Chain A
Amino acid sequence: MMLSKKSAKVFFFGGTIVTFAMFLVMSFMTLTNEVPKRTHEENLSAEVIAGKKIWEENNCMGCHTIMGEGGYYAPELTKVYDRRGEGFIKAVLQSPVPWQPRGRKMVAYNMNDTDAANMIAFLKWVGEMDLNGFPPEPDYKSTKNNKK
Chain B
Amino acid sequence: MKYKSQKIAYYFFALALLLLVLQIVYGFIMGFARVGYDGLHEFIPFNTARAVHTNLLVVWLLTGFMGAAYYIIPEEAEKELVSVKLAYVQLISLALVGVTAIVGYHFNYWEGRKFLEIPRPLDYLVVVNVLLFLGLILATLFKGKKRTTTAMVLTMGLVFAALLYLPGMIWFDNQTIDSFFRWWVVHLWVEGVWELILGGILAFLLIKLTGVDREVIEKWLYVIIGLTFISGIIGTGHHYYFIGTGKIWIILGGIFSALEPFAFLAMVFFTIGMYRKGEKKHPNKIALFWTVGTAVVSFLGAGMLGLAHTLPAVNRYTHGTLVTAMHGHLAFWGAYAMIVFAFISYVMPNLTGRKLYESRNGKLAFWLSNIGMFGMTAAFGVAGVAQVYLERKMGLEFGDVQKDIQVHFYVLIACATMFLTGVTYFIIEFLKYGKPNDEAIVEDNTVE
B113 and A56 form a contact (CB under 8 A) = yes
Q: Does B127 contact A (CB under 8 A)?
A: no
Q: Does A93 contact B (CB under 8 A)?
A: no
A8 and B219 form a contact (CB under 8 A) = yes
Partner of A5, one of B173, B218, B247: B218
For chain A, residues 22 to 74, give those with C-beta under 8 angstroms from any C-beta of chain B: 22-23, 26-27, 29-31, 33-35, 38-39, 41, 44, 48-49, 52, 55-63, 65-74
B174 and A44 form a contact (CB under 8 A) = yes
Q: Does B377 contact A (CB under 8 A)?
A: no
Q: Does B241 contact A (CB under 8 A)?
A: yes
For chain A, residues 76 to 104, give those with C-beta under 8 angstroms from any C-beta of chain B: 76, 98, 101-104
Contacts of A19 in B (CB 8 A): 229-230, 233-234, 256
**Interface stretch of the complex, out of B5-13, B290-298, B397-405:** B397-405
Q: How far is A142 from B94 in the complex, measured between Cα atoms in Å?
A: 56
Q: How near does chain B come to A19, taking the closest CB pair, in angstroms?
A: 5
User: How many B residues touch the partner, as a band?
Assistant: 35 or more
B46 and A73 form a contact (CB under 8 A) = yes
Q: How far is A44 from B117 in the complex, measured between Cα atoms in Å?
A: 24
Q: A67-B244, A126-B175 are in contact. Are A62 and B112 (CB under 8 A)?
A: yes
Q: Does B41 contact A (CB under 8 A)?
A: yes
Q: Does B322 contact A (CB under 8 A)?
A: yes
Partner of B394, one of A4, A27, A129, A138: A138
Partner of B393, one of A27, A34, A63, A138: A138
Q: How far is A12 from B316 in the complex, measured between Cα atoms in Å?
A: 32
Q: How far is A83 from B111 in the complex, measured between Cα atoms in Å?
A: 27
Q: Does B47 contact A (CB under 8 A)?
A: yes
Contacts of A22 in B (CB 8 A): 233-234, 252
Q: How near does chain A come to B113, taking the closest CB pair, in angstroms?
A: 6
Q: How far is A116 from B175 in the complex, measured between Cα atoms in Å?
A: 18
Contacts of A11 in B (CB 8 A): 222-223, 226
Given contact pairs A72-B322, A138-B393, a sample of 12 additional A-B residue pairs in the complex whose CB atoms are under 8 Å apart: A19-B234, A30-B249, A44-B173, A52-B178, A58-B47, A63-B45, A67-B179, A73-B33, A73-B46, A130-B244, A134-B241, A136-B392
Taking beta carbons and an 8 Å cutoff, which residues of B are in contact with A? 30, 33-34, 36, 38, 41, 45-48, 50-51, 105, 108, 110-114, 117, 149, 173-180, 215-216, 218-220, 222-223, 225-227, 229-230, 233-234, 236-237, 240-250, 252, 256, 316-317, 319-322, 324-325, 392-395, 398-400, 402-403
29 contacting pairs across A/B (C-beta < 8 A): A4-B219, A5-B149, A8-B223, A11-B222, A16-B226, A23-B233, A23-B236, A26-B248, A29-B246, A30-B240, A34-B246, A35-B174, A38-B246, A55-B112, A55-B175, A57-B108, A58-B112, A59-B112, A60-B47, A61-B112, A61-B114, A63-B47, A69-B114, A98-B41, A102-B399, A130-B244, A131-B244, A132-B247, A137-B395
